[in-house]
Amino acid sequence: RAISTKWVYRNKKDERGIVIRNKARLVAQGYTQEEGIDYEEVFAPVARIEAIRLFLAYASFMGFMAFLYGTIKEKVYVCQPPGFEDLYHPDKVYKVVKALYGLHQAPRAWYETLATYLLENSFQRGTIDQTLFIKKQKRDILLVQIYVDNIIFGATNKYLCKSFEKLMKDKFQMSSMGELTFFLGLQVKQKKDG
């Protein structure tokens, strides 16, 4: 049974509410999925807001420079996206390989893919906070905090930030928003003195 899809259009805004980018996303209508039939596991660790605040406070104290697709296991089929129907094969469906927004298992699939990749690249997962990843290099440290499909990171060395950004872009299609100024309703102002 194929799951319907729909297009979702959204304006990405900055901390002042000014539109900085228009986004279009194909979303699976996952509410039609049935547990035990279409998916098993859906839980993905999520950082608490306190952990994000602690991350930002520690980054400030240490003088960090801070900056701002998972594979699914189940067989999932979706209908042809609206506006992209094949006129010659209107009854054909697509098999989903990568997690698609709207699927129940998407957050977990993304977290598992990202966590595995970070661990394979010499990061250590936090023991208390499973969404925090740490990489130490001599006297420097790089912290990576995951919140659903958002990543914030900071390091005591600008080179570590640049190499992390490259590491991520080599594996995943993602955009870097530059210096962190706004995250989960928290306004962040970085100063040279921390």
Residue 63 — φ and ψ, nearest 5°?
70, 35
Domains in the chain: boundaries: 5-187
Helices and strands, counts by H and E, the chain: 3, 11
* 154-187: pLDDT as tens digits: 788 888 888 888 888 887 766 555 565 555 555 5
Strand partners, 187: 182
The strand ranges marked E within 14-147 are: 19-28, 65-67, 71-78, 94-98, 124-125, 132-137, 140-147
| pLDDT grade for 107, boundaries at 50, 70 and 90 | low
* 156-165: pLDDT as tens digits: 888 888 888 8
Instruction: Give pTM, 2 decimals.
Output: 0.51
